[in-house]
Structure 1
């Protein structure tokens, strides 16, 4: 009888010990989960902790993102990004890449922002967040000066060869009107514009401010900005990963400061000789049926 009682007591003690261990294990797991949750930082918190944000840009887009005569990266978008970082109290590092790789790099977390004259569109806003616009413009096209590339309206793009990036809105416009798009990767303006001049392509559709500098840089080419076609008004902003609302808010706050104190105007006039931070006064044609 004593042996039975002793055995029961041992079993009872074992059960109590197991329950205590289970409770302790549960508490430990809860504590670990709470700690892990508290350690999960937003993108903005991570940037603040590290003291640096990474910005993708092309370095090949004259006036927006390019290398000057001293081989220094500069341009309107680059200097806006630098000033934003300065006012946020963090350093900025630029990663050079083609426009077609920028949005995937944001999505993967490889970079924090993209600054490369990227248009804010409804389709893009479904997958990414944008800052408030820091540039307003419209689209135009470069054609051959000698014959207008036989383009006198947007409808005349049908059957023409248009130079452009594979994922740009400008290429989508060209395809919308029946042009074939010839892509160049992260090439500079000379490759695009020389092809128009020598007839290997017919047209380059791009931002008015940017293309104005491209044409001016190659006075010996048989090219010009089309004098009659202004279309598709645009707004450009900094691009970031979807859902990073505190980062977006912080950027918008400093962009508002920069607009109010004249810094955006000053940077725009430095690179464009016009205030591209304000909406243009020209009459610009809207394009119907463009799914962007």
Structure 2
């Protein structure tokens, strides 16, 4: 893959990673009377699943260079689910802010886009069993780790990030100043840590690992000691679509047992298996209301 194209795909990393979005834009699930257990009957009759995804989140959901066919870890998981349930998959490419509202309105049957399972979202939606487990890390300068040894050392530091993400909330929680850029590509974020304009970037471990691989010329690293905010990513469905959830969970379990999830993860995450919970200890941040 060409480096320039990698940056096009990664451009929305700090803004479009659904796991980091703090504003859902969804309506109350009670407003959608169609989101009932009859959802599965409707899907069987139609012979297809209508699925919301962004198409801009590398490597979860994206268009390869010169192609109009979606691919990515999340997309290929959903394609396999369709095969095993004998259903066609129809994708609706929707911005992250509108995905959950599309579930409530009935425009789509579900969402798959690296969506983090949170307590607040679980009050309004059903989630499948997780297909990805991750956590947050931070990119810092290699020479001195940007003067950061603990999360408490973020106080007074400058963190590059989106204005309304979980990652920025974490930075602010520990007293960092968030520096926002608008719709900037990731090389801008990484270069500014390298040159000292900012001190760190907080984001998803797997996505940050790919960003560093794409731009090795910067003297920056993932902080070797700070791993925090464990996350589960799962498929989002209407609150009362219990039969649909059972069907999806059954297929995901089959894919886990036969190695399909591991195979797909290693294909899209540089040989890493994001389908399994990390073995290392991940710090849970107390007092962070998400």
Structure 1 residue runs of 5 or longer lacking an equivalent are: 1-36
Aligned to 2:222: 225
- Match for residue 69 of structure 1 among 59, 65, 69: 65
- Match for residue 284 of structure 1 among 279, 282, 285: 282
Aligned to 2:41: 45
Q: Find the residue that maps to 2:274 and give its secondary structure.
A: coil
Deviations 1:93-114 (A, max 9, x none): 3233333332233233332222
Post-superposition offset of 1:45: 2.4
Q: Cα distance 1:81–1:204, how it changes in 2: closer, same or farther (>3 A)?
A: farther
Post-superposition offset of 1:259: 1.0
- Match for residue 273 of structure 2 among 272, 275, 280: 275
Greater than 6 Å deviation, 4+ residue runs: 184-187
1:170-185 aligned at under 5 Å gives the runs 170-181=167-178
Q: Cα distance 1:63–1:148, how it changes in 2: closer, same or farther (>3 A)?
A: same
Measure the CA separation in 1 of the matches of 2:82 and 2:205: 27
- Scaled by the length of structure 1, the TM-score of the pair is 0.76
**Alignment length (residue pairs):** 255
Which of the pair is proportionally richer in helix?
A: 1
Post-superposition offset of 1:70: 4.1
Measure the CA separation in 2 of the matches of 1:143 and 1:101: 32
CA contact (8 A) 1:113 1:239 kept: yes
- Scaled by the length of structure 2, the TM-score of the pair is 0.76
Post-superposition offset of 1:61: 2.7
Post-superposition offset of 1:62: 2.5
- Match for residue 140 of structure 2 among 143, 147, 162: 143
Q: Cα distance 1:243–1:200, how it changes in 2: closer, same or farther (>3 A)?
A: farther
CA contact (8 A) 1:99 1:165 kept: no
Measure the CA separation in 2 of the matches of 1:245 and 1:112: 12
Aligned to 1:88: 85
Measure the CA separation in 1 of the matches of 2:227 and 2:289: 19
CA contact (8 A) 1:59 1:73 kept: yes
Measure the CA separation in 1 of the matches of 2:108 and 2:274: 26
